Structure 1
């Protein structure tokens, strides 16, 4: 009962703060307010260490959404993790994770951002290795080491911002646009955001992090850890739009979106399909940021958080009932056994596809139309945007087909049901937001309608791509299984696509374990090799020998002196003979 009371207290506290934050964001948005709260932590002569907090409509709105999803995830965990003896520790880790995200959201200062940034990395490692097994340990190490690259980039950015006299980047953005040193700081910030948001070549850690419990996945992969990089780039957006770094980010994020969508169509692990879907949507957010629409990216960030958290909760309910089986080939006809969970799954999937009047429609449709209208959009980026949207609909319909249709392929001993009332209540909150959240945010963030004038073929390209993607996903899943499943005939292509373009192998063997192995050899050869032989170790051995000889003399033994005297007589005699 004590553990359950902690769940309920955390739920009500976070939900109350979320409601307060949402109300304040409306006030700040209506009156266009921005508040800075500063605390002097330390002052010595003319040097000040200041803690600054930034409150504007964006930070307050994002905080309210993070807290809302966190509260519902904790409430959902009350039943999902009920058999766990360490549920207390789990809830505290989740709360620490949320606190780190809050620190990152309200910080206009690179040093306080680093506290939240590193806090997210450390707590995510603890949550990924929550289930104690080799797979979780490997996934946690991959997650931690990949994110350390971004931490180092932030540290270098902090060091370089010493040139400006302060770390409050918010005050220097306009000046940094015309400054030559801006390029270095901007490149470091973009690198850090790419690692945290798992863009190519740092993508392999995000599906690996699925080793964490499903409630953690619902939180991490919707509104907290992976969106930290996107949120940071929204704040720094004015620096890199229209520059070489912006064009590079556009290409990389477009390829990430394409790669993740392609990989999800070959994947059979339920949680990994949703993780690759998250990666695809992160690529979409990064792409639209690079084009120069930060408010649109923020809008999609919020709507995506709602339906993606719901998608993970539904996946958790299915896995719970399937006795921890995550293979979608073992599922089928689940609608008859778990109607509420599958209905929520379908709503979240349709929102992800951009079904009209659900949450994802308002952001994704607007993004694609703004891309069609924007100047300087090259053919490759345009193709990646629309083709990746088609792939999103394809893997969503594939997932729906495997879960809903056909016969139940799992063990007959599985007792499938929607009996968990607590989990259903947690999902209902997000179901409501996944339906009305997009419309609500659209009226809030865009107080007047955008005039988008497109030719007929561009206007209908978005629905055409979605319908074509859904049809191909259904065709490949339904007809392809029985009649013309040729993927095994092209095994190398299928393996390349399904393994995220070999990135997990390159990340583990090449990028992480390669340098670690090289470092081990260097230590063995240099620090513990000739450096030790000619350095401290050999000097120690020599001193021991000389000390032993000196000890012999210190004993004042007559035999020792007689031996030395005889030795010198023989030595001098030989020398005289040699000279004569």
Structure 2
């Protein structure tokens, strides 16, 4: 079953790539409308947008999906419900396709909600308490974006059609379009896990590794960036200013967090978050084509990075802690070779695929008139990217082997290796290849020698920082609580998981308990409500007399007799 889907996706991917190049050369855009039915004299139609961008993105998604499905054949070998897993992955890919080809907010919502629903099913696939918690956090974080999209659909009614592609530039200064743009940005922030919705992305690592390879490279998290690329013509200056601030903060926060993390998959997830921040920030600076270029390049090497991590975890008996690894280059040479190439590409080492997009982004940012905050945070984030990548390499590939002495680690999984090998050439050569294809006129960047060398300088500074951090083991018993709180704050994504889990349910419940004890069962109960009713009731004489009937009756009898005797 896996092999059939692998071949089908591969053929589709190749044909879509050729079609995309054809559309790009001829500068063609096709909008296809399928008439469905008429309701109250309104035509209900299904609209598809085909241009070089949507076709190329679909081609990349299908190619990565085909490799991931082929890889899953062996990775999920012992699973009883492997077929169900493959079908879930295919539904996931189909939802992404629906989102990519839609110029219409209704059909975008179908794909958008499909991604959210299927991602929940995939995150809770292993069905333990950690998976359920992660799945619920993922689903509820994404629901905020879904609601924002539903509200933008309601506001689009003012234009008489949901085909947003016709109104973006025309209605840019209109208040309604500004409102729709704000809601779309909010939706994109939740789906692409920007601050303050970042905590679900590392939590979603509870899913099987092939899912992580697909979700965190080309599908779920990139959906928000893709939607912003489509909508970028309608954004006002204030919205772009807010977007660059949030995305640059996310880039910096995730880079810092990854340097303190010990879970292999979470380090790679935080690196994805960092790259998403980079894409969004360059889009906010006005270069949507560069954001799209980095989106494609990042998808290729990040998918392979997850597949390498999956192979390592698979061989180590599902151990994900990098402190138990070490010296793996002797046991898994090919996997480690691929892992290193992907790490180099992620760092932006010259002439790897990541370099062509990342270096171009940083140099274009240096050419813009930006303030010192943006300039500093860009270069610091580049240094941190290299730092956690080098730290990961140092922990896992060099030094002594720290796992069980009784082990059978060997590269016997040929299906997994074939799936990984399908992506390695793209991780190396796609940057140069697609930069020639996508940018018909080259970017002219005129910078001083010092600023040109800044990127390389920060790469080497990052290597040094990663090396220093990897030597430093955090021993919680030896360091003071003051220092521990700083380490836990930086390493725990600036306490964002607390805010989005305990902050959302635990603390309001504690507040409710306090409210009940102090107000409902305390002073409020005494001075208001029931006690006041009793007090007012006892003020009346008749009520007082009816409290103890016999005693009052006898007392009244004595008064009556005394009255009679006196007369």
Q: Structure 1-normalised TM-score? A: 0.87
Equivalent of 1:143 in 108, 116, 138: 138
Query: Which shifted more, 447-456 or 272-281?
Result: 447-456
1:194 paired with 2:164, answer no
Cα distance, 1:406 vs structure 2:
1.1
Identify the residue that residue 477 of structure 1 maps to in structure 2.
Answer: 470
1:449 paired with 2:450, answer no
Identify the residue that residue 297 of structure 2 maps to in structure 1.
Answer: 303
1:42 paired with 2:37, answer yes
Aligned counterparts, 1:421-500, within 5 A = 421-478=414-471, 480-481=472-473, 490-500=483-493
Structure 1 residues 487 and 312, CA, compared in 2 at 3 Å: closer, same or farther? Answer: farther
Identify the residue that residue 336 of structure 1 maps to in structure 2.
Answer: 330
1:360 paired with 2:354, answer yes
Structure 1 residues 482 and 124, CA, compared in 2 at 3 Å: closer, same or farther? Answer: closer
User: Matched residues in 2 for 1:520 and 1:143: separation?
Assistant: 28
Equivalent of 2:68 in 66, 73, 96: 73
Cα offsets for 1:176-206 (capped at 9, x unmatched): 2121222210110000000000000000000
Cα distance, 1:448 vs structure 2:
2.4
Cα distance, 1:135 vs structure 2:
0.3
Identify the residue that residue 106 of structure 1 maps to in structure 2.
Answer: 101
Cα distance, 1:512 vs structure 2:
5.0
1:174 paired with 2:169, answer yes
Cα offsets for 1:416-460 (capped at 9, x unmatched): 111111001000011111011111110111122211001222111
Cα offsets for 1:529-569 (capped at 9, x unmatched): xxxxxxxxxxxxxxxxxxxxxxxxxxxxxxxxxxxxxxxxx
User: Matched residues in 2 for 1:504 and 1:416: separation?
Assistant: 35
Cα distance, 1:486 vs structure 2:
9.1
User: Matched residues in 2 for 1:513 and 1:191: separation?
Assistant: 25
Name the SS for the 2:32 alignment partner: strand
User: Matched residues in 2 for 1:121 and 1:515: separation?
Assistant: 26
Cα offsets for 1:28-76 (capped at 9, x unmatched): 0110000011011111353111110000000000000000000000000
Identify the residue that residue 316 of structure 1 maps to in structure 2.
Answer: 310
Structure 1 residues 512 and 200, CA, compared in 2 at 3 Å: closer, same or farther? Answer: farther
Cα distance, 1:481 vs structure 2:
4.7
Identify the residue that residue 228 of structure 2 maps to in structure 1.
Answer: 233
Identify the residue that residue 541 of structure 1 maps to in structure 2.
Answer: none
Equivalent of 1:158 in 141, 153, 178: 153
Structure 1 residues 53 and 250, CA, compared in 2 at 3 Å: closer, same or farther? Answer: same
Name the SS for the 1:502 alignment partner: helix
Equivalent of 1:373 in 349, 367, 374: 367
Cα distance, 1:378 vs structure 2:
1.2
1:247 paired with 2:241, answer yes
Structure 1 residues 132 and 517, CA, compared in 2 at 3 Å: closer, same or farther? Answer: farther
Identify the residue that residue 92 of structure 2 maps to in structure 1.
Answer: 97
Q: 1:321 touches 1:414 (CA, 8 Å); kept in 2?
A: no
User: Matched residues in 1 for 2:467 and 2:367: separation?
Assistant: 31
Name the SS for the 2:246 alignment partner: helix
Name the SS for the 1:51 alignment partner: strand
Name the SS for the 1:174 alignment partner: coil
Q: 2:226 touches 2:292 (CA, 8 Å); kept in 1?
A: yes
User: Matched residues in 2 for 1:464 and 1:408: separation?
Assistant: 32
Equivalent of 2:50 in 52, 55, 69: 55
User: Matched residues in 2 for 1:138 and 1:519: separation?
Assistant: 23
User: Matched residues in 1 for 2:19 and 2:58: separation?
Assistant: 11
Name the SS for the 2:48 alignment partner: strand
Structure 1 residues 65 and 317, CA, compared in 2 at 3 Å: closer, same or farther? Answer: same
User: Matched residues in 1 for 2:338 and 2:228: separation?
Assistant: 32
Q: 1:487 touches 1:494 (CA, 8 Å); kept in 2?
A: no
Cα distance, 1:383 vs structure 2:
1.0
1:213 paired with 2:208, answer yes
Cα offsets for 1:342-361 (capped at 9, x unmatched): 00000000000001111100
Unaligned runs of 5+ in 1: 1-5, 527-580
User: Matched residues in 1 for 2:146 and 2:506: separation?
Assistant: 19
Cα distance, 1:487 vs structure 2:
7.1
User: Matched residues in 2 for 1:185 and 1:393: separation?
Assistant: 38
Q: Structure 2-normalised TM-score? A: 0.88
Equivalent of 1:284 in 254, 278, 288: 278
Identify the residue that residue 118 of structure 2 maps to in structure 1.
Answer: 123
Identify the residue that residue 409 of structure 1 maps to in structure 2.
Answer: 402
User: Matched residues in 1 for 2:505 and 2:235: separation?
Assistant: 29
User: Matched residues in 2 for 1:201 and 1:219: separation?
Assistant: 23
User: Matched residues in 1 for 2:328 and 2:513: separation?
Assistant: 51
Q: 1:393 touches 1:470 (CA, 8 Å); kept in 2?
A: yes
Equivalent of 2:391 in 398, 418, 432: 398
Number of paired residues?
A: 521
Q: 2:259 touches 2:469 (CA, 8 Å); kept in 1?
A: no
User: Matched residues in 1 for 2:300 and 2:171: separation?
Assistant: 35
Cα distance, 1:475 vs structure 2:
2.5
Cα distance, 1:496 vs structure 2:
0.3
User: Matched residues in 1 for 2:153 and 2:508: separation?
Assistant: 26
User: Matched residues in 2 for 1:520 and 1:61: separation?
Assistant: 55
